[in-house]
Structure 1
């Protein structure tokens, strides 16, 4: 259907059909958008930009000189107001540094506009409304950013561009291109805090067609420097998060080197001991940092606790051994569920688009690795209610895949009884985690875990088609002979 040339300013900028109801169109009211009104006669492009600036929130800092169209300004404004502030961990890069660089660097401007266009498309998708042209716009601006990248001669700008390009390709499902961008950002010293978080996120999801390149990221990472960096005191919550994700990423790289045999046992154990010392030092610093502070409703501290508990779960279980090793960690699963629930209450995260890690990774891990039916179904319920995008993770396909894992593993088992989780319990003191005798209590019992080893899904190898809303899965079942690492392979398809 051809768009009317007499629609309201907002619908014309968004390139969607306006119902032309006056004085405000119903489409803008339904979408909870500020209607720009109806100009008389033909409107020059410059005037449209001026009207957009007056009908939206103040945008005096917008680099209008770089904008080729009013739609670009609208997309940039959406990124600035919504996308940049939606990260779980407070980020100076997204909320300040990147926005400042758009003033002087056209490539970064176009890449930022591309993410804003994808944010606009996501908002349309959330409402179940008809598709608009925002994805096409995003691809176009992504291409312009790539073409202009060759003109950048400043390392700080190059690093920033790599990160925003990675964010774009994550949302477009272009995994191999995303890996190129993160590798480029890891080679440069600027904005490493953001690069580390996004790289950790990339490690946690590996598409079958583009497996995560551990060998290449290891080659550009000074692992020993990270593991030996234990002396600093923590002065801000942002600093605490940066150090924790650096340690967490180091653990994944170290663990992979052990699994693949890249490191001999001696060098691996030396580095692993350094990792544990680093983690314990961070926990002691957090204990001192939090002394006298009320963190009960501090969303970012809850986020730190959430990912720290996930890291401690990985340390407790390791990568080798039967899947039944997770059955002794029900306290960890329950604790992570409590943290996720508290985080949702402190800062509702459903229906959001974030460029960095959020709730999806911890919740998906619980549903997959926890075989206590009541606990995993509790986590699955939270995951199914999110409707989020978090970097290269989307809650809708993650929930469908997780639900399929549960259905396969619990096939033929009687429905579980509902377990009551005590959300009033205090959080674990930071200093307690490093105790040799540390155990997390649980309301659940390992005796209630009924899924036998041979029925468990050890690994899921996904191949995503975001346009078709389809996930092709290779599910590697656990071995039943106690010798081979894997058993049979199941081919599954889920739609989202």
Structure 2
């Protein structure tokens, strides 16, 4: 008897599919893409090959890795999910073996590299240039990229980081994809730089530019512990080459100016890091005494005025670190037992600097800054009378730089009557200029490696405790969030608010300044740039106790 198949048996027309019995079952194969994006290749699905990002991945809310020559790409070790906040990038030392042109080959591996390199040249370079004209980012850096692949990868990574999105983590898929590509390119740049460290070194200008681009990428993410070693490395390179080349360095002036500006930031933020040795003290003394620029009776251009002011600021920071006098000296425990501190004129003698030598050096500092101000004043008035808005902004920025450098020096050198309570007019002028500069930022997106406004606002908020002006400085930091080199304005604002809360507790409204003996001193800062948190510690005299003992306060702020 012939057997009859069940209607629900696999292979019948009434089961799964309407196939005739005996017809072979069709098998489903995953599509193996050979020219699609990296994500579709990993998922083994068909890619629609839309550039720069696959629309299929976007609709599925997946991370498109873009189009690469290799079939797959590993996650970059520098991506936000893998990179730790304490991971430091070593100072960059490069080799001549890698500096070569590849004739007949394209400079870019794919369309994305070419696109973001073009974005850097057309957009990002203008942001990094700042107010003062310079060919560093527009011409010198792109030229180096033609011959040096590691720097080219780093520049492509910076171009992929949209300057408008530095304030917060990526919020859209497009922002996430750009940052993933940036981290991938940056990891390749660092890997190639590390591979050439042990080879024959290249010319100085290339090594300095390599450190600059690494500093730029790290400061964008506020990784200060990775950015600052690049500044120290550049300073060491220049000092070593100056010893070898007494006739001068074969390096463009724009590069040296940028390194000097970053060196000032580094010394102001980190200092020497430890007590200076006897050799360092001697070399610092010889260095500042041998560099005495001739100040003209009147500056004819702002570039000359700025270079002289940078020299004064660098020497001042060297001297402050070598003489071991912190701010404020009249709160030093060694000043006790010598009568009223507020009546003392000079600081107590320490083991690093004789008192008479310190006072002579102080007088030279004041004379130099006064001579600079007198030479710059005619040029400042002339520019302010013109109709060139850009020149007026640059002149005001230079006046801002002078004011906060002078005020920073004064706070550490004079007694409280002059240094602490007697600078209201200068502080008010400084704050007024900063407000004018911030209210008309132009095309500035708030990210720069050049110190413009954050450091001067921090001087108003921390160096001098004028309550109303400090409140206004904090308001400006909050209203105009910025990140400049080693400083973040939102973090500075949070720190200043916490210190103000400590100092103004139970203080009457009639007090214009915080009493100098009740000023809090921040002794520890530990920040997490990914979580945007910071652990702080400060010491302050107990206003309620009779002996005014020091009390330690700790807090965690979010910025």
Alignment of 1:159-170 (within 5 A): 159-170=208-219
Determine the structure 2 residue equivalent to 1:338.
432
Measure, in 1, the Cα distance between the counterparts of 2:557 and 2:353. 37
**Change beyond 3 A, Cα 1:252–1:70:** same
For the 8 Å contact 1:384–1:396, the answer to whether it is kept is: yes
The 8 Å contact of residues 388 and 396 in structure 1, kept in 2 or not, is answered as: yes
Residue number in structure 2 paired with 1:428: none
What is the correspondence of 1:320-331 to structure 2 with a 5 Å cutoff? 325-331=419-425
Q: Which residue of 1 aligns with 2:5?
A: none
| 2:158 matches 1:158 | no
Q: Tell which structure's C-alpha radius of gyration is larger.
A: 2
Deviation at residue 99 of structure 1 after TM alignment:
2.7
Corresponding residue for 2:195? Answer: 147
Secondary structure (helix, strand or coil) at the match of 1:358 reads coil
- Kindly indicate whether residue 512 of structure 2 is the aligned counterpart of residue 461 of structure 1: no
Give the equivalent residue in structure 1 for 2:111: 70
Which residue number in structure 2 is paired with residue 253 of structure 1?
Answer: 318
2: CA distance between counterparts of 1:304 and 1:124?
Answer: 27
SS class of match (2:537): strand
Distance verdict in 2 for CA 1:476–1:77, change over 3 Å: farther
Instruction: Note the alpha carbon deviations across 1:144-193, whole angstroms, 9 max, x for none.
Output: 34434556421222222222223333334444443432223223243321
Q: Which residue of 1 aligns with 2:260?
A: 196
Q: Give the superposed CA RMSD.
A: 4.1
Instruction: Report whether the alignment pairs 1:406 with 2:496.
Output: no
Structure 2 equivalent of residue 284 of structure 1: 374
Alignment match of 1:243 (pick from 291, 294, 308): 308
1:92 to 128, 131, 135: 135
Q: Take 1:212 and 1:169, find their aligned partners in 2: how far apart are those partners?
A: 24
Q: Secondary structure at the match of 1:85?
A: helix
Equivalent in the alignment of 1:133 = 180
Distance 1:107 1:252, change over 3 A: same
Q: For the Cα contact (< 8 Å) 2:537–2:553, is it kept in 1? A: yes
Between the aligned partners of 1:362 and 1:490, the Cα distance in structure 2 is 26
**Structure 1: gaps spanning 5 or more residues:** 21-41, 46-62, 417-446
Structure 1 position 474, deviation (Å): 1.7
Q: Which residue of 1 aligns with 2:557?
A: 494
Q: Which residue matches 1:303?
A: 397
The answer to whether the Cα contact below 8 Å between 1:255 and 1:319 also exists between their aligned partners in 2 is: no
Q: Is the 8 A contact 1:214 1:256 kept in 2?
A: yes
Please give the residue correspondences for 1:387-406 in structure 2 after superposition, counting only pairs within 5 Å.
387-406=481-500
Contact (CA 8 Å) 2:534, 2:556: kept in 1 or not?
yes
Aligned length: 423
What are the equivalent positions in structure 2 for 1:385-464 lying under 5 Å apart? 385-413=479-507, 448-449=511-512, 451-453=514-516, 455-464=518-527
Determine if contact 1:458/1:478 at 8 Å carries over to the other structure. no
Deviations along 1:186-233, whole A, 9 cap, x unmatched? 2324332111101111223239xx948977998689323333453597
Deviations 1:116-143 (A, max 9, x none): 3444683583775464425633344334
Asked if the contact 1:364/1:383 (under 8 Å) is kept, the reply is no
Structure 1 pair 96/264, CA: closer, same or farther in 2 (3 Å)?
farther
| CA distance 1:362–1:9, shift in 2 (3 Å) | same
CA distance in 1 between counterparts of 2:385 and 2:496 reads: 31
